[in-house]
Amino acid sequence: MTRRERQELIDKGLLLPLMEEFYTIQGEGFHKGTAAYFVRIGGCDVGCHWCDVKESWLAELHPPTETQKIVENAVKYSDTIIVTGGEPLTWDMGPLTTQLKAKGVQTHIETSGAYPLSGEWDWICLSPKKMKLPTQEVYEKAHELKCIIYNNDDFKFAEEQAAKVSKDCILYLQPEWSKRDKMMPKIVDYVMANPKWKVSLQTHKYLNIP
């Protein structure tokens, strides 16, 4: 296969830069505590300074993998598939989710929403970033909004983002892991004063699992 042919397949979503895949427990947000199979797609230019998977940023470091093979492997483990990144919406998610839905599984995505929404999703977890804000469609369709709290200014940003999602979207505040001891008491106080929000924790890190 030539480089051009490979790029055409990538552009169509038939090849995706697969960083890693694993079966584990969802650690965050609405579905925390449930078993799911994670598919981590490489490639992200949003550039969060506190990102804990910076090795996902450069797509060229991760092998272009046939979408069909990703699907065939994923459905062996779980009926809930969570696509994460990197930023998965960098790529066309249509072929991946079409094949997953054909297998009768639930499709979830974790995204910053910075790129146009593609694919068919049963659950959209939107975690917006200041550097590159979500598209209007992702705001409208998000099932949960997860705002990461790194410093005091992030509470204001979280409120700005909450004003843009639908009234049915579940709202979460989650401490950035390295700042959890400092920010967690502030998050607790904030949620108690503003009960439309819920607290999200990275429970998988406390459990020492992927």
Is 51 annotated in some ligand binding site?
A: yes
Is 112 labelled as part of a ligand binding site? no
Beta partners for residue 15, in sequence order: 66
125 is in an annotated binding site: no
33 is in an annotated binding site: no
Residue 136 labelled as part of a binding site: no
- Report in angstroms the alpha-carbon separations of 161 from 24, 97, 102, 134: 29, 27, 33, 9
Query: Residue 209 class from Cβ within 10 Å (0-12 exposed, 13-18 middle, 19+ buried)?
Result: exposed
Q: Is 52 annotated for ligand binding?
A: yes
180 is in an annotated binding site: no
Q: Annotation-wise, does 128 bind a ligand?
A: yes
Question: Residue 196 to residues 30, 68, 158, 162: CA-CA distances in angstroms?
Answer: 14, 41, 12, 10
147 marked among binding-site residues: no
Q: How, if at all, do strands 15-25 and 35-41 pair?
A: antiparallel
Query: Length of the chain in residues, anyone?
Result: 210
The reply to whether 27 sits in an annotated binding site is yes
86 annotated as belonging to a binding site for a ligand: yes
For residue 154, list its beta bridge partners. Answer: none
Q: Is there a binding annotation on residue 129?
A: yes
Q: Which residues are annotated as a binding site for S-adenosyl-L-methionine?
A: 50-52, 86, 127-129
Q: Which residues are annotated as a binding site?
A: 25-27, 40, 44, 48, 50-52, 84, 86, 127-129, 210
Q: Which residues are annotated as a binding site for [4Fe-4S] cluster?
A: 44, 48, 51
Q: Which residues are annotated as a binding site for substrate?
A: 25-27, 40, 84, 210
